[in-house]
Amino acid sequence: MFYTIYKITNKINAKFYIGKHQTMNLDDGYMGSGKLIKAAIKKYGIENFTKEILFILQTEDEMNAKEAELVIVSEKTYNLCPGGRGGFGYINQNGLNNLNKNWELIGAKTSLRLKGQRNPSMTKILKERHALGLVKYNTFLGKNHTELSKSKISETKKRLGTQSGEKNSQFGKPRSEEVKAKIRQTLLNKKQKFSS
């Protein structure tokens, strides 16, 4: 058995993914199991990625330690979480497989494991996922705020003084009938697009 640490690099934007893999065949064509790297390969095509094996280690523990040492979550990588965890060995050893239905215990173990670690900015992750087509914005499109929600928004704006009176970007700029008609048509088009 080979315990490997590999690096997959996007030839187009130089972003990379570092992962670990246990295999009997170093040329098995494995290209990672991370969500972002899979989506990137789908988007750019496998021909735009290179894979290199950085280390071949003796044990799974050594492999996990080396991955933990190398993986850094940043805008330059496709990695979503720090290395050293995951894989079937980790899942089975920690009772996280699908046969174990004690989700409360799984959540507690995960929380304890991640406590004190710095998580990457969710905004950056969402932007990356949006760029790859995995997340859609405008998730509120076609929905309406409740009256309670509207009143809370209104109270907050009044309290903070944002977008009211002279602070409103449209203050003193009445809209012409032509502009109103264009806005109306744009909103109607969005509504029709959403409902179809």
Percentage of the chain exceeding pLDDT 90? 21
Q: Compute CA distances 63 → 23, 34, 74, whole Å.
A: 12, 17, 21
**Residues pairing with 20 in the sheet:** 5
Q: What is the pLDDT of residues 132-154, one digit of tens each?
A: 766 655 566 667 888 998 888 88
Give the tens place of pLDDT for each residue, 158-187: 777 766 777 777 778 888 899 889 989 988
Residues 6+ apart with CB under 8 A from 87: 20, 22, 60, 64
Per-residue pLDDT reduced to its tens digit, 58-93: 988 889 888 888 888 888 888 877 776 655 555 455
Tokens linked to 8: 């997959």
The predicted-structure confidence for 5-59, as pLDDT tens digits, reads as follows 999 999 999 999 999 998 888 888 899 888 889 999 999 999 999 999 999 999 8
**Residue 96 pLDDT exceeds 70:** no
